[in-house]
Amino acid sequence: MKAIVDRSECIGCGLCTEACPEVFRMGDDDIAEVYAEIDDSLKSSAVEAQDSCPVSAITLED
């Protein structure tokens, strides 16, 4: 599974990094970025990160 952050939509709230820090981190510009692929053990936290994004900037793809 792969995560994508629409950096033009991200408001930098950090909820995704709290929900799934193994996949998401804040970049130097305080906008979320993906730095790892999602393995089976991280699927539920990645979905939580997607669901918690207030601007729906996260997309998950199989």
Domain residue spans of the chain? 2-61
Residue 27, pLDDT score: 98
Share of the chain above pLDDT 90, in %: 98
Class of domain 2-61: alpha beta
Phi and psi for 51 in degrees, rounded to 5? -65, -30
- Find the mean pLDDT for residues 29-42: 97
State the pTM of this model: 0.95
A 10 A CB-CB count for 15 gives 17
- Find the mean pLDDT for residues 44-50: 98
Per residue in 5-26, pLDDT tens?
A: 999 999 999 999 999 999 999 9
Distances (CA, A) of 20 to 23, 49: 6, 6
**Burial class of residue 61 in the structure, from the number of CB atoms within 10 Å of its CB (0-12 exposed, 13-18 middle, 19+ buried):** exposed
Cα(54)–Cα(6) distance, integer angstroms: 13
